[in-house]
Amino acid sequence: MSSITVGSHGHASAGHGHSDHSVGSFISTYVFSRDHKIIGLQFLFSTLLWFLVGGLLALGIRWQLAWPWQSMPVIGPMLFSAEGGQISPEFYTMLFTMHATVMIFFVIIPILAGAFGNYLIPLMIGADDMAFPTLNMLSYWFMWPAFVCIILSFFSPGYGAAAGWTSYPPLSAVWESAPSSGAAQTLWLLGVTFVGVSSMMGSVNYMTTIIQMRAPGMTMFRLPLTIWGMFITAVLQAFALPVLTAAGFMQLMDRMLGTGFFIPEQLVVNNSIAASGGGQPLLWQHLFWFYSHPAVYIMILPAMGMVSDILSCFARKPVFGYKPMVYSISAIAGLGFIVWGHHMFVSGMNPILGMTFMVATMMIALPSAVKTFNWLGTLWGGKIQYTTPMLFALAFVSMFVIGGLSGIFMAATPVDIYIHDTYYIVAHFHYVLFAGTAMAVFGAIYFWFPKMFGRMMDETLGKIHFFLTFIFLNGTFFTMHILGAAGFPRRLADPYHYESFQQLLPMNRFMSICAILMVAVQVVFAFNFIYSMFFGKKVGRNPWHANGLEWSAPSPPGHGNFDFQPIVYRGPYEYGSPEVDTDYYPQIQPPPEGVEPTDPGHH
């Protein structure tokens, strides 16, 4: 890896006004802080803890699939001692519901937008903080009611929501339909709604900040792709979330007030007749996916941006096709609003409508392909430094290809008839979200850790973490494609109940062992993270010799971020520029005497 030196940007123009950032008491500095960096770190720590919870829930699922009805370690004797540690099927249903809920709503969305969005946006655009610091603080603290609701959901009748993370009515809306459809489901709905409120506050703030608070010279086309990813994500959230919030309240009313938005006539559930009627279960699916499909892009666009930044930095080369990258992010977002129906090809939706969604879905693969080719173009002809963040970013590219290509199968409506709700789908979205986004998040943590804490994470441990995670994740998820081709359905507590799937047990064991090892390897990461926070090698402003504005601020940046007024002269990817002798060319560095500023970023 590159040597570590103390950055030396001698801009001693400190002392311009940051009077609004007076340092207060411990509580106002670290707890109810309005500083975007503290809020970002609060999001980061919370989401990493939830990541652990989500991972353990996943291990519960894997245990049951590999050793069905055998005493589940720890949980079995604790909760099901009467049954000899054998978990109940409703417990299994709860496990996968909560695994998805935690991972999507409490880990991926808040770690990308909440943690990295908060931490990086003001630093990367050269602002001293967010546009609305108080709103920003509230966006974090509105996650806490969500945390509380979900934790309570585990302990309320039903003991964890168990209607799937998609919460399809009538199963989710009618109390009689499941033992788990008690207060646990109501709390789940409230929890998800609070996450929505938090995200909405964040997205309004991000949009305003990116549009209004860029440093002098920071034009939109000089923004790092990370910021473009965050910006488009904020737009997606702002326009899609109200629909989910409305749908959530409709389901709450169906449950609590006896309305019948999603409950059809003459429903006989569990031998009792549902009180209300006149609704349509498919309505929920349309409303839910109208948000939750764009949410898939909310969960990947910031990751794509961060990966672009990391790749360019360690290839020591400008991003290939900056503008096509921006346009493809925007195209993904635009098309993302008209493809939700591809979750509903076999749902009973009109098949003609299915065809239009199919064409839109096929086309959304295009901008993803363009991005992949541009990443390869970025690497081509560079000088690649294999640091830990770079390895994770490369893993993202490599894995995203798999996740992207497998999406074409389910976009093809007739093929989807067969693979819908099988492990083919599970393989696909884990390749996008875990092998994709989570790898990008790890890369981003290793990359920006020195900025956050002023210390490096250990490279050796980082590489061990990378190699083992990469191997085990493929062992766990690649084989899911094969299960899917064999028709193995999702969400079955005991798939071997069917003769068709009995031969798949050994492969499931293999996958579960890989999954257990993969979670175990994260101990290396946790140790590295905590150890490096306190004992890591101290670094200066710019340990990676990167160009972005955040690398000209102190590490860690104090209140108000910059100790000088940043002025931006060029785009963030001027590595290997012939204008200067160094192989990097920070955005704030004025061009040398006599050199006409070439400005590829500015048009």
Partner 1 sequence: MFLLVPVLGITVFALAINNMWPMKNHWFPVDVSEHGHMIDGLFNFILYLTGAIFVGTGMVLFWVLWKYDAERVQENVMYTHGSHTLEVVWSILPAATLLFIAIYQMDTWHSEKMAYPMLAGVDNVLGTDDDIRRPPIAEVTGRQFEWRIRYPGEDGVLGTRDDLFTVNDLHIPVGEETVITIKSQDVLHSFFLPNFRLKQDLVPGMKQQVWFTPTTEGEYDIVCAELCGWGHYKMRGRITVESRADYEQFIVSLQEEQQPLKSPIGQVAAQ
- Is 132 a binding residue for partner 1 by CB under 8 A? The answer is no
Burial per residue of 535-561, b for 16 or more beta-carbon CB atoms within 10 angstroms, e otherwise = ebeebbbbbbbbbbbbbbbebebebbb
Q: Pick the piece of the chain touching partner 1 (CB under 8 A) from 186-194, 226-234, 403-411, 556-564.
A: 403-411
Interface with partner 1 (CB under 8 A), residue from 6, 270, 527, 595: 270
**Which run of H or of E encompasses 308?**
helix 301-315
Residue 31 or 273 with smaller CB distance to partner 1? 273
**Cβ at position 429, least distance to partner 1 in Å:** 16
Interface with partner 1 (CB under 8 A), residue from 253, 269, 468, 533: 269
- Cα–Cα distances in angstroms (integers) from residue 279 to residues 84, 95, 251, 256, 283, in the given order: 43, 29, 11, 15, 8
Residue 54 or 169 with smaller CB distance to partner 1? 169
- Is 408 a binding residue for partner 1 by CB under 8 A? The answer is yes
Q: Which residue has the tokens 């749908």?
A: 247
Q: How many residues of this chain bind partner 1 (CB under 8 A)? A: 117
Pairing between β-strand 268-269 and β-strand 272-273 as defined by DSSP bridges: antiparallel
- Is 79 a binding residue for partner 1 by CB under 8 A? The answer is no
**Cβ at position 166, least distance to partner 1 in Å:** 8
In a 10 Å sphere around its CB, with 0-12 CB exposed, 13-18 middle and 19+ buried, how is residue 594 labelled? exposed
**Cβ at position 470, least distance to partner 1 in Å:** 7
**Cβ at position 255, least distance to partner 1 in Å:** 14
Interface with partner 1 (CB under 8 A), residue from 59, 124, 332, 504: 504
Q: Which two tokens stand for residue 211?
A: 């549009």
Residue 63 or 575 with smaller CB distance to partner 1? 575
CA gap 366, 94 in Å, rounded:
36
- Is 219 a binding residue for partner 1 by CB under 8 A? The answer is no
CA gap 282, 17 in Å, rounded:
56
- Is 320 a binding residue for partner 1 by CB under 8 A? The answer is yes
Residue 24 or 278 with smaller CB distance to partner 1? 278
Q: Nearest-CA neighbor of 482 among 453, 506, 504?
A: 504
Residue 296 or 402 with smaller CB distance to partner 1? 402
Interface with partner 1 (CB under 8 A), residue from 74, 78, 359, 595: 359
Residue 324 or 556 with smaller CB distance to partner 1? 324
**Cβ at position 318, least distance to partner 1 in Å:** 5
- Is 376 a binding residue for partner 1 by CB under 8 A? The answer is yes
CA gap 147, 165 in Å, rounded:
16
**Cβ at position 219, least distance to partner 1 in Å:** 15
Q: Which two tokens stand for residue 521?
A: 């390897």
- Is 409 a binding residue for partner 1 by CB under 8 A? The answer is yes
Q: Pick the piece of the chain touching partner 1 (CB under 8 A) from 117-125, 357-365, 436-444, 515-523.
A: 357-365
- Is 104 a binding residue for partner 1 by CB under 8 A? The answer is no
Interface with partner 1 (CB under 8 A), residue from 322, 423, 448, 525: 322
Residues 416-435 that bind partner 1 (CB under 8 A): 417-422
Q: Pick the piece of the chain touching partner 1 (CB under 8 A) from 205-213, 348-356, 535-543, 558-566.
A: 348-356
Residues 435-474 that bind partner 1 (CB under 8 A): 467, 470, 474
Interface with partner 1 (CB under 8 A), residue from 73, 145, 164, 242: 164
Question: What SS3 state is found at 163?
Answer: coil
Interface with partner 1 (CB under 8 A), residue from 315, 329, 332, 445: 315
Residues 476-495 that bind partner 1 (CB under 8 A): 478-479, 481-483, 485-487, 489-495
Q: Which two tokens stand for residue 193?
A: 């709604």
- Is 178 a binding residue for partner 1 by CB under 8 A? The answer is yes
Interface with partner 1 (CB under 8 A), residue from 17, 216, 506, 590: 506
Residue 538 bridge partners (DSSP): 455
- Cα–Cα distances in angstroms (integers) from residue 396 to residues 66, 307, 325, 430, in the given order: 28, 7, 16, 12
Would you say 226 and 237 are in contact if contact means Cβ atoms under 8 Å apart? no
**Which run of H or of E encompasses 272?**
strand 272-273
Q: Which residue has the tokens 């090892």?
A: 517
**Cβ at position 396, least distance to partner 1 in Å:** 11
CA gap 597, 591 in Å, rounded:
6
**Which run of H or of E encompasses 306?**
helix 301-315
Interface with partner 1 (CB under 8 A), residue from 75, 183, 365, 461: 365
Interface with partner 1 (CB under 8 A), residue from 133, 170, 302, 462: 170
Residue 193 or 372 with smaller CB distance to partner 1? 372
Would you say 265 and 277 are in contact if contact means Cβ atoms under 8 Å apart? yes
- Is 16 a binding residue for partner 1 by CB under 8 A? The answer is no
- Is 168 a binding residue for partner 1 by CB under 8 A? The answer is yes
C-alpha dihedral sign at 573, 578, 580, 582:
positive
Question: What SS3 state is found at 269?
Answer: strand
**Cβ at position 89, least distance to partner 1 in Å:** 5
Residue by residue, DSSP assigns 175-217 as: GGG-TT-SHHHHHHHHHHHHHHHHHHHHHHHHHHHHHH-PPTT
